[in-house]
Structure 1
Amino acid sequence: MDRSNSSGSSGRSIRQSPYILLSRCMNMTDSHTNETPVVPESLLDSVSLLSKKWHPAIVRCLSNDDGLGFSDLERRLDGISAKVLTDALTDLREYEIIERHEISQSPLRVNYTLTERGKELDDVIESLADWGETHLAEPETEQVVLVADDNKRINTMHTAWLENDYTVRTANDGEETLRNLDTDVGVVVLDRRMPGLSGGEVLDWIRSQRYDIRVVMVTSEDPDFEILDMEFDEYLTKPVRQDELHAVVADLFDRREYSTELQEYLGIRSKLALLQVEYPEETLETNELYQRLRSRLDELESTGIDLDDVDAEAIERLPIGGAE
């Protein structure tokens, strides 16, 4: 089928490449002078060179090294075939953008470096990359924290600590917390004891709705065995330090990207670590739910759960005696 025309009998247009469109523009003339091309030929040539997928990538690779061999470039340019790399290197040598140097003849070893012309082009490519990062990159997803505490002073303080880094919503009781909850909220800083609906009841509601929300329970009460039935992610005892709250909230946003198993593992570990501080070992050994969670923790560890992505400070905050 002949696709040389921009449309066929069906009337559907075929999308033209930027290079072809620029060619058309270049052949147009200014309506006032009938002489000056709208697009100079030099720009068209530059676009032709940079529009080839691997050319800018090769130039960028060579910008940070004294020289790279063919195999080095092939490893760094994930997805490029040997033939495409060979053709691209030939093109760039013809444009005098790179140079080929023979290192040894037996075995044959060569490397490639940028010429002065290539270094000038690399500056242009770097500027284009910076422009794209500024104007074309996807905007960062807004990170929303809901601070829920019936103590207005604490509510105001925690909000002030977080608002420079996050979009912060506030609530003064359980009912207001529910009204401010939606899928935009990523982390809830939740007071355990509030009038009306308690923090525990709010937590149960969040989990029943299956929201992808991480919850840090904040309370003036020491941890007790009731926390074993609560599906929070972290637990802080008042008074909370600013650096402590910042670290936990940042960690909980990271956890939203973790697997379900890893999130479960860290939640269980948080509970066990809290209770190991509060109760002697003999008391823990007689608590059936504690032992059940401890067994589940061991089970998750035995599956080879990957902790490489977990911040080391987060693990240090959750020490478990005998679990590692």
Structure 2
Amino acid sequence: MSAQPTILVVDDERELADLYAMWVGEDYEVLTAYDGQTALEKVSSDVNVVLLDRHMPDITGDRVLEEIRAAGYDCWVIMVTAVDPGLDIVELDVDDYVTKPVTRAQLTRIIENLRVQSRYGDDGRRELQSLSNKMETLEDGHAVEELTDTESYQQLESDLKELSDSLIEDSDG
């Protein structure tokens, strides 16, 4: 029997971090960190998913994310934040981006979707899902007409199409 996946919940709002931890605690091992420095101390190869607040007073979520990736941890990272998504999320190496407030159902659905994807290995589907999630997040927060004029969004569309076509070719061949 395999061990439960481990989730690291990172949010400087203690009540919110504890609430998220309670929501996922029935199905997962949970670690909590109330600041970026503690998050960096608690992240390890045992952590499967990080729920990461973007705006924290000591070290930003963006910086925590950079440190996690630089250390080579291959965990799923979901930004759960009050920061409305801008085109800068295209550059973030996250698997999903969710704007607060988030419901228990939303959070558990996102985590379960990532777990299902992880069963398929990393043949490009993870990156495809990440790009798709970013596009959906941007389109939920902005008028599509506003986005289509930007270079970042055009690049995101291009990357998504290219990767999608590549995965289709691989599955056909």
Match of 1:283 among 135, 141, 146: 146
Alignment partner, residue 122 of structure 2:
259
Q: 1:217 is paired with a residue of what secondary structure? A: strand
Alignment partner, residue 161 of structure 2:
298
Q: Which runs of 5+ in 2 are unaligned?
A: none
| Aligned structure 1 segments of 4 or more residues deviating by more than 3 angstroms | none
Letter in 2 for 1:215: V
Q: 1:185 is paired with a residue of what secondary structure? A: coil
Letter in 2 for 1:222: D
1:218 and 1:229 map into 2 onto residues whose CA distance is 16
Change (3 A) 1:177 1:286: same
1:305 and 1:206 map into 2 onto residues whose CA distance is 31
Q: 1:240 is paired with a residue of what secondary structure? A: coil
Q: 2:79 touches 2:97 (CA, 8 Å); kept in 1?
A: yes
Alignment partner, residue 46 of structure 2:
184
Does the alignment pair 1:243 with 2:110?
no
Letter in 2 for 1:171: A
Q: 2:26 is paired with a residue of what secondary structure? A: coil
Alignment partner, residue 197 of structure 1:
59
In the TM superposition, 1:70-109 aligns within 5 A as none
Letter in 1 for 2:71: Q
Alignment partner, residue 88 of structure 2:
226
Alpha-carbon offset, residue 260 of structure 1? 4.2
Q: 1:303 is paired with a residue of what secondary structure? A: helix
2:43 and 2:66 map into 1 onto residues whose CA distance is 13
Does the alignment pair 1:156 with 2:10?
no
1:190 and 1:292 map into 2 onto residues whose CA distance is 25
1:141 and 1:189 map into 2 onto residues whose CA distance is 19
Alignment partner, residue 126 of structure 1:
none
Alignment partner, residue 143 of structure 1:
5
Rg larger for: 1
Q: 1:270 is paired with a residue of what secondary structure? A: helix
Q: 2:43 is paired with a residue of what secondary structure? A: coil
Q: 1:147 touches 1:188 (CA, 8 Å); kept in 2?
A: yes
Greater relative contact order structure (CA < 8 Å, 6+ sep): 2
2:70 and 2:101 map into 1 onto residues whose CA distance is 29
Alignment partner, residue 269 of structure 1:
132
1:162 and 1:180 map into 2 onto residues whose CA distance is 18
Change (3 A) 1:172 1:305: farther
Q: 2:80 touches 2:97 (CA, 8 Å); kept in 1?
A: yes
Alignment partner, residue 208 of structure 1:
70
In the TM superposition, 1:310-321 aligns within 5 A as none
Q: 2:24 touches 2:30 (CA, 8 Å); kept in 1?
A: yes
Output the aligned Cα RMSD.
Answer: 1.5
2:56 and 2:118 map into 1 onto residues whose CA distance is 26
Q: 2:48 is paired with a residue of what secondary structure? A: strand
Q: 2:4 touches 2:27 (CA, 8 Å); kept in 1?
A: no
Per mean C-alpha deviation after superposition, the further-off stretch among 249-258 and 285-294 is 249-258
Q: 1:212 touches 1:256 (CA, 8 Å); kept in 2?
A: no
* Deviation per residue, 1:265-318 (Å, 9 max, x gap): 000111111111222233212211211121011011212449xxxxxxxxxxxx
Q: 2:124 touches 2:167 (CA, 8 Å); kept in 1?
A: no
